[in-house]
Amino acid sequence: MKTSLNLDISYDQVLFLVKQLPNKEKLKLSKELEKEGIHSKLTKILSTFKTNQLSLATINKEVEIVRQQIYESQKS
């Protein structure tokens, strides 16, 4: 049986509770919060760059242009 509980608590109340945790538990909590933050940031970054307008052919064409520019600048 699973029971759900909703609490309306403030940031200060959460902070008070966290400060009472042993250091090992604080570190564990910190790592979980960091993972959540990193996941959120990564998702945002990836969604920013996601596009349907960029094809592999377009990428390859741009790569070849840059390679040619580098090759020509090294010849001089």
Model pTM greater than 0.85?
Answer: no
Output the six-digit token pair for 19: 């400060």
The ranges of the chain with pLDDT < 50 are: none
Mean pLDDT of the chain: 88
pLDDT at 64 (0 to 100): 94
pLDDT at 46 (0 to 100): 80
How confident is the model over 17-36, as pLDDT tens digits? 999 999 999 999 999 999 98
CA dist., res. 42 & res. 28, Å (int): 21
Residues 18 and 26 sit within 8 Å (Cβ to Cβ)? yes
Which ranges constitute the DSSP H helices of the chain?
11-19, 23-49, 56-75
